[in-house]
Structure 1
Amino acid sequence: MSRVSDDSATPTELLQAWGRGDGGAFDRLVPLVHDELRRIARRYMGRERADHTLQASALVNEAYLRLIDVNKVQWQNRAQFFGVAARTMRRILVDFARARGCGKRGAGIRHVSLHEALVVSSLPDDLVALDDALQLLEEAFPRKSRVVELRFFGGLTFEETAEALGVSVDTVKRDWRFAKLWLLRELSDERTRPV
């Protein structure tokens, strides 16, 4: 197993070394990605209720614990890593919400207006309902679901998302528009269904 020992190694180089089994590469990677992971966690926590007992730092720590168990991933670049980290944080929050018995789908929904910078407009704050809708989207349109995950949850640009998925920027933009409308329809339908 080759080890990356240069202190000036880029996150991508460290990710690739970690994927090859260099455990020390993860330790050197953490300081380079920590601020970005905290930004992602704060974005998530900003959409949670004010009295949420989980803090952004705890979310990052839990994500680290889950990510350290990821073995033999062929890391392509930092965009892919942040996409996986965002998905991990989403899973943590959804698991936390389900464990707390957050109620029926759609309960306590608050609209969040997110602008085109990284946005799906009028998505609910109810992470469980959003997660359920994203799972349906993933079953029907896997790549479009990944676009939402990388842009909305990971905060990646169109260009970074295209790089992570290996598609063109125009494809990402089309997928983004489609997924926003699809999720909006799915979540609106959910609110009108009888309980």
Structure 2
Amino acid sequence: MGEREKSDVTQLLIKMKQGSEEAYEEIFPIVYSELKRLAHSKLKKERDNITFTETELVHEVYLKMVDQTLIDANDKDHFMAIAARCMRQILVDHARKKNAEKRGSGQQDVTYIDKLLKAHHEAEELVELDDKIKELAELDQRMADVVTLRFFGQMTVYATANALDVSERTVKRDWAKARGWLYKELNK
């Protein structure tokens, strides 16, 4: 995304904070391709035989963000960080639902994203990862945020640093520590 588009997103975010309904509609086309790229990379990592499209995931994320009373983002990087967190919540919520179905709850699919986690073992892995990120947050919230933004948000070190208002060096250090901790915890 170029500097002009970043500036446009920032201006639209200001308008959104002021209650402009049109700003919600204007921001989506600007960030759509980046959100779609993010969704594609997440879905590709989740499983090979995916029937759910990145377009459907992007729409779910955007609807979740718009459904909130106020997106409190300061700039484009912060907006993408919120989108990454929403994507994580959507994926994990549906993974939990699939695990519940596996145990016999028999709930019906209610959204497009329900197709995302049909393979139960992958749903279990995503739920386990989310649980470990929550444990990490209890130890160090910033490291957990770095994992969410880098893993779920596919954000660069620079964008992550900007979204969290820390230095790139801090992000690199937290990312390395968090990956090591997660590796150890997930391979017990």
Query: TM-score range with shorter-chain normalisation?
Result: 0.7 to 0.9
Aligned residue for 2:46? Answer: 48
Aligned residue for 2:15? Answer: 17
Contact 1:79 1:163 in 2 (8 A): yes
- How far is 1:56 from its partner? 1.3
- How far is 1:53 from its partner? 4.2
- Give, in whole Å, the separation in 2 of the partners of 1:101 and 1:82: 28
CA change 1:158–1:125 in 2 (3 A) is farther
Contact 1:26 1:68 in 2 (8 A): yes
Aligned residue for 2:72? Answer: 74
- How far is 1:133 from its partner? 0.8
Aligned residue for 2:155? Answer: 156
Contact 1:19 1:71 in 2 (8 A): no
Aligned residue for 1:57? Answer: 55
Displaced runs of 4 or more, over 3 A:
50-53
Q: Is it true that 1:90 corresponds to 2:72 in the alignment?
A: no
TM-score for the superposition, normalised by structure 1? 0.77
- How far is 1:9 from its partner? 6.3
TM-score for the superposition, normalised by structure 2? 0.80
Contact 2:99 2:124 in 1 (8 A): no
Contact 1:37 1:60 in 2 (8 A): yes
Contact 1:47 1:125 in 2 (8 A): no
DSSP 3-state at the match of 1:37: helix
- Give, in whole Å, the separation in 2 of the partners of 1:11 and 1:154: 17
Aligned length: 167
- Give, in whole Å, the separation in 2 of the partners of 1:152 and 1:100: 22
Code of the residue aligned with 1:32 in structure 2: it is I
Contact 1:144 1:176 in 2 (8 A): yes
Q: Is it true that 1:184 corresponds to 2:183 in the alignment?
A: yes
Q: Which 10-residue stretch deviates more, 140-149 or 46-55?
A: 46-55
